[in-house]
Structure 1
Amino acid sequence: PMAGDLDEQRIIELVLQHGPPQGRHPLPDHPAALPGDDAALFAPQRVVTTDLMVEGVHWDSRSTEGDVGYKLAAVNASDIAAMGCRPTWAVLTLSLPRPVAAAWVEGFARGLGEGLGAFGARLIGGDTTASPGPVFAGLTMAGEGSAVVGRDGARPGDRVWVTGTLGDAAAGFFDGDPAGLAWLRRPRPPVELGAALADMGLVHAMMDLSDGLARDLARLCARSEVGAVVDPSLLPASPAVAALPAARRLQRQVAFGEDYQLLFTAPPAAERAIRRLGSVLDVAVSIIGEVRAEPAVCLQGAEWPEPMFDHFPVTGRPEGAAR
C-alpha cells in the first residue's frame, strides 16, 4: 500500500503483525502486557512507555527549548499515570542537526530536568546522534504501582470520568488563549491522582487524553468491548473554552487532543470516594457519561466532530493542523 493509504493505527497494526509472538522471557499474564495500552506491563506492578517528539510536528517557535524538554517528560508521565503507576526512571534519545547549538541543548536539558523532577522520575541514560534535518527527542519512562490499570476493564453501568478541563490546548493553539498555550507547552498531567485511583481500587479502566476525547474514548471502549454515551453539556471547560461558540467549543474539547488529562470509568458506588480524592489532591474530576453494553460510542444530541489532527492522513482526508 502507498503511504497515503495508511493511517496511524494501521501502521501500528502492520508493525505488530511481524513481531514474534513471545520472547525468551515470559511476560506477566495480564492484558496490559500486550500492545494497546498507554504503557506496557513488563513485570508485576511495573510498566514502561515511550514517546517521540519532532521539531515542526510537536512544537514550533511558540515553544522554548525548555518547554520541549519539560513536555517530553510530561507526556511520558501522563502515560504512566494512566496505568495507575508513578514514574521512576527514564532514558533519553536525542538527534540534533549540526552544528549543535549549546544554548539549545542546555535549555532543553534544564526543562527536561524540571519535568522529570516534577513527576518523580530520574534520568539514568540514553543516546545521542546527528540529525540531517529537525530535532528528534525521544524518552522512554518506567513506572511502578500497586495495582496496574489498563483500558480493558470498563463495564456497562460504569460512569465515564475525566480530570481537569478539556480543550485548553486547542484553544491555545487555534484561538490564542494564553492559559491554553501555556498548557500546550507545559502540560501538568494528574500523575498522583492516577496512581491513587489505582491504589484504592476505584477504577475499572483508565487512559490518558492525548489524541482527543472522541478518539481516546473510542479506543478505551474498543479495548473493553463496550460502548458509551457522553453528554456534551457535562464536558468541563475553562472560562476561555466556555466562552467559545457552541460548535467550536465542542470541537476544541473532543477533536484536537493534547489535554493530558485522565479518562477513566468507575462504578457508581465509587463516586463519593473519587470526588473526595480529587478534592484532597486538588484535581477537578467530572462525570461526563456512562458505559453501555452496545458497542457504539455516542455523543448525546450531537455528532462527533472530525479529528483536527492526524499524523498520517489517509489520501483524501484533510490533515488539519500540525502539532
Structure 2
Amino acid sequence: MVEGNFVDYIKIHAASGNGGKGSVHLHREKFIQKGGPDGGDGGRGGHIIVRGNKNMWTLVHLKFKKHFKAEHGGGGSKSRSTGKDGDDVYIDVPLGTILRDGETQDIIFEITEDGEERILVEGGMGGRGNWHFKTPTNQTPRYAQPGVEGEDGWFQMELKLLADVGLVGFPNAGKSTLLSVMTSAKPKIADYAFTTLKPSLGIVEYREFQSFVMADIPGIIEGAAEGKGLGHRFLRHIERNSTLLFLIPADSDDINEEYKILLNELKKHNPELLDKDRLLAISKSDMLDDELKAEIKKDLPEDVDHIFISAITQVGLTELKDKLWKMLND
C-alpha cells in the first residue's frame, strides 16, 4: 500500500431520505360509487448504513467522496398500496472503524466484524394513507399524513487498526525492517528518524499454514501522550493490539530507560494498555557477541520477557514467532 494512501481519519456528511406521503384516495369502480377511503401509506426513506468489510485496511476510498444522500420514499397510492421504500446507501469501512458525532464527538458505534451493519442515519417514516383515519363519524376522510423528513449531519470516522501484534518503539528502532522481513509488507525503510509516518500491516506466516497480523506503528517520542510528534494519531492504533512487541536496538544508550519511557507514554495515553501481554525484543543484535549479551541481560527490566533478534541476519526470528504465537494463543 502506498504510504500516502493510508487514511485513518475522515469527516463525512450523511443525509437519509424523507418518508413518502400518504395517499388521499376514495375507492371507485363500476357499480361502486362510494367505496370509502383506500389511500395507501408512503414508503420509508432510505437509511445511511455503515458496513464492515474485512478486505479494507484504510478509509482512503472516502477521501474524495464525503457526501452521502439516500433516496426518498415513494408516495402511497390507491387500493391501500404502500409507496416504494427509498434505496438505502451503504458505506463500507475497515474493521476497527469508530463513528463519532461530528459536533459532540460522542461515539455512536464501532464496526468490528465483517458484514456488520449499523444504521448511521435513519430514513423518515412514510405517512399514513387516508384509510387509517376512517371513523364512524367520518366515513370519507380527505386527508393523509405527510412523510417524516429524514435526518442529516456531519460524522467523524476514526480507524483503529485491528492487529494481533503491535510494534512499539522509538523512531529508527528497526520496526519497519522487522516487519518487511517477517511479512510480505513493504514499509518505507531508511536510516533516519520518522521514516514511518503511517501504520503498516503485515501477515506473519507461522507453522502449519497458520498466521497472525503484525502492525508497524510510527515511532513513539517522549511526550507523545500529550500530542508531541505524531501523538494521538498513532497511539490509538496500539489500543486494538492484543500483544505489544517492544523493539529497542542493541546500540541504545540505556535499554531499560527506553523501555520505561515507552511504557510511561502508553500508560499516560491509556492505562489499560499496560494490561496487554508484552515482549521485549533487542534488535540489531547481530553486532553483539555472547559476552555483550550477558552484560546487557543484567540491566534488562525484570517484569517482561526478552529476546535478542536481528532482522538483517534473521537471527532469533523463528524463536520470536514461537513466543508471539504462544502469547496470542495462551
Bigger Rg over Cα: 2
Give TM-score, length-normalised by structure 1.
0.24
Greater relative contact order (Cα 8 A, min sep 6): structure 1 or 2?
Answer: 1
Structure with the largest fraction of helix = 1
